[in-house]
């Protein structure tokens, strides 16, 4: 399977702990996105990378959130001092500069975070 993969699929953590999620995009895709989705809502954009450069960050991305994409391959999203409001599905997507335009993004299965 050469789709977008995310790890872990599920994470339960206690309030105040730090968590880190990993995303492996489709190998030839140089654009990578992070979204957050809560129950009953559509995904909300968090941040975007082109290669290793983080080019956009949503206002949703508080200073407790940090994302990296070293070497322009996989990406990590870290949440420090988790709060119950961080409980959500965290989705990663990737797309290519060539071929289809930005609107065709390929999503991974997501990491479901539960903060107790």
Partner 1 sequence: LAKTTQPISMDSYEGQEVNITCSHNNIATNDYITWYQQFPSQGPRFIIQGYKTKVTNEVASLFIPADRKSSTLSLPRVSLSDTAVYYCLVDSGSARQLTFGSGTQLTVLP
Q: Rule CB under 8 A: which residues touch partner 1?
A: 4, 31, 33, 35, 40-45, 48, 55-56, 58, 91-93, 101-110, 112
- Tell me how far apart the alpha carbons of residues 28 and 30 are, in angstroms, rounded to a whole number: 6
Q: Given the complex with partner 1, which of 73 and 102 has the nearer CB atom?
A: 102
Q: Given the complex with partner 1, which of 18 and 96 has the nearer CB atom?
A: 96
- Residue that is written with structure tokens 């206002």 in the block: 59
Measured CA distances, 31 to 66, 84, 90, 109, 112 (Å): 17, 30, 17, 17, 22
Shortest Cβ 16–partner 1 spacing (Å):
27
Shortest Cβ 57–partner 1 spacing (Å):
10
């Amino acid at each position: 399977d050469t789709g977008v993969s995310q790890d872990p699929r599920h994470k339960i953590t206690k309030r105040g702990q730090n968590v880190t999620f990993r995303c492996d995009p489709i190998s030839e895709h140089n654009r990578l996105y992070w979204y957050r989705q809560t129950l009953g809502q559509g995904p909300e954009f968090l941040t975007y990378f082109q290669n290793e450069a983080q080019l956009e960050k949503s206002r949703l991305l508080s200073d407790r959130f940090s994302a990296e994409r070293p070497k322009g391959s996989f990406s990590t999203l870290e949440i420090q001092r988790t709060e119950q409001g961080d409980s959500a599905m965290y989705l990663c997507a990737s797309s290519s500069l060539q071929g289809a335009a930005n609107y065709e993004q390929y999503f991974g299965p997501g990491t479901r975070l539960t903060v107790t």
